């Protein structure tokens, strides 16, 4: 083989090797670019740090970070009864890097209370996975001369307008307004910027009554808040001796919320499905279920279709409830 021919063939071989290496590099780069997630993911919580939604979001973010290999960063964007943060999720880029961890109030309660929202909860958000259900503890100051729901109603009727209750979210606000409506009492709502601040207000004696989504459990057990009943349809595993408000005489009373993950519209189905599967796996973990039980949260296992139907049904139910009771919270 002549030297010239050898050099030509060597050159061709090197060119082919270079071309193959370039194609492999491009393929690897394309694969890396298309893989999700390949950078940190923002998890927007539309309520304050320390709220029940925030606590669950941080549990979820820790487990997602471990299983998916990227940080899931909780971003609290409280304001306007959850509307501010929820709107940011609805308007985020649909690339899987901005998600929402949102309770039911901004999704199914606010549409009944606000004449106009900056987003359509049904059309502008993709339901990824429901995680848990929770009600509230109806509690009072220990110094208040009432030991049960009947005595609270009698005291409130004897002292119209003199009792205050903390309203830290649409959820707790509606819980209080429904209590007033069904009991025929006049208790004044005092607004707070979140459910954690409303517990602080209760401990500071700023209000006499609270509808607490189980954030103040340790304070209740310590005797700093006297529990009277729970607002959910079933008794709490944390306080099994407490009656539901239905059992206490308000037969049409049920107020509970769910907490779930949502994605912006247009988020790829593969990412949504992956997140749904991860959420289902996380919720089933024994340590997570134990933590939910400690907070009196009931874990939820349902398909995306079932969750979507729940949203539609809850939206219709709250619209009817607000209209029938003529609630005037945010009009």
Predicted TM-score of the model (pTM) = 0.79
Domain that holds residue 193: 137-230
pLDDT at 257: 92
Verify that 115 and 185 share a domain, yes or no. Answer: no
Verify that 192 and 222 share a domain, yes or no. Answer: yes
What CATH number does the domain containing 171 carry? 3.40.190.10
Verify that 265 and 116 share a domain, yes or no. Answer: yes
pLDDT at 193: 86
Verify that 109 and 153 share a domain, yes or no. Answer: no
Verify that 98 and 148 share a domain, yes or no. Answer: no
Verify that 51 and 129 share a domain, yes or no. Answer: yes
pLDDT at 51: 87
pLDDT at 80: 87
Domain boundary among 230, 246, 276: 230
Cis previous bond, 37, omega within 30: yes
207 within some domain: yes
1 within some domain: no
242 within some domain: no
pLDDT at 329: 67
pLDDT at 31: 37
Measured distance CA(123)–CA(277) in Å, rounded = 22
Cis previous bond, 185, omega within 30: no
Domain boundary among 211, 230, 249: 230
Query: What's the distance, CA 176 to chain centroid?
Result: 19
Verify that 126 and 269 share a domain, yes or no. Answer: yes
**First-to-last C-alpha distance (Å) of the chain:** 92
189 within some domain: yes
Verify that 198 and 144 share a domain, yes or no. Answer: yes
How many domains does the structure of the chain reveal? Answer: 2
pLDDT at 194: 86
pLDDT at 26: 34
Tokens standing for residue 57: 């979001």
Measured distance CA(88)–CA(101) in Å, rounded = 12
Would you give per-residue pLDDT tens digits along the chain (331 residues)?
544 543 544 444 344 434 334 333 333 333 344 599 999 999 999 998 988 899 999 999 999 999 999 999 999 998 888 999 999 999 999 999 999 999 999 999 999 999 899 999 999 999 999 999 999 999 999 999 999 999 999 999 999 999 999 999 889 999 999 999 999 999 999 999 888 899 999 999 999 999 999 889 999 999 999 999 999 999 998 899 999 999 999 998 999 999 999 999 999 999 999 999 999 999 999 999 999 988 889 999 899 999 999 999 999 999 998 998 888 765 5
Verify that 268 and 305 share a domain, yes or no. Answer: yes
Measured distance CA(131)–CA(297) in Å, rounded = 9
What CATH number does the domain containing 112 carry? 3.40.190.150
Measured distance CA(75)–CA(326) in Å, rounded = 35
Verify that 202 and 265 share a domain, yes or no. Answer: no
């Amino acid at each position: 083989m002549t030297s010239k021919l050898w050099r030509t063939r060597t050159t061709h071989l090197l060119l082919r090797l270079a071309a193959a290496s370039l194609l492999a590099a491009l393929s690897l780069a394309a694969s890396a670019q298309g893989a999700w997630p390949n950078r940190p993911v923002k998890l927007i919580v539309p309520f304050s740090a320390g709220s029940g939604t925030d606590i669950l979001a941080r549990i979820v973010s820790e487990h997602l970070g471990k299983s998916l290999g990227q940080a899931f960063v909780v971003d609290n964007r409280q304001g306007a009864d959850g509307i501010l943060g929820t709107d940011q999720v609805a308007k985020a880029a649909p690339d899987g890097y901005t998600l929402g961890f949102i309770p039911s109030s901004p999704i199914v309660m606010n549409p009944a209370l606000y004449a106009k929202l900056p987003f359509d909860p049904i059309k502008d958000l993709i339901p990824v996975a429901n995680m848990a259900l929770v009600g509230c503890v109806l509690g009072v100051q220990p110094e208040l001369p009432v030991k049960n729901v009947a005595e609270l109603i009698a005291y409130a009727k004897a002292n119209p307008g003199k009792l205050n209750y903390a309203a830290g979210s649409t959820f707790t606000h509606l819980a209080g307004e429904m209590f007033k409506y069904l009991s025929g009492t006049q208790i004044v709502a005092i607004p707070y910027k979140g459910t954690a601040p409303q517990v602080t207000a209760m401990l500071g004696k700023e209000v006499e009554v609270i509808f607490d989504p189980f954030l103040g459990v340790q304070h209740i057990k310590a005797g700093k808040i006297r529990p009277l009943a729970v607002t959910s349809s079933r008794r709490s595993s944390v306080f099994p001796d407490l009656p539901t408000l239905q059992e206490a005489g308000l037969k049409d009373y049920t107020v509970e919320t769910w907490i779930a993950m949502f994605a912006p519209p247009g988020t790829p189905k593969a990412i949504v499905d992956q997140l749904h599967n991860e959420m289902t796996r996380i919720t089933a973990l024994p340590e997570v279920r134990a933590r939910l039980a400690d907070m009196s949260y009931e874990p939820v296992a349902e398909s995306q279709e079932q969750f979507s139907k729940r949203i539609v049904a809850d939206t219709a139910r709250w619209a009817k409830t607000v209209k029938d009771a003529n609630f005037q919270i945010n009009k």
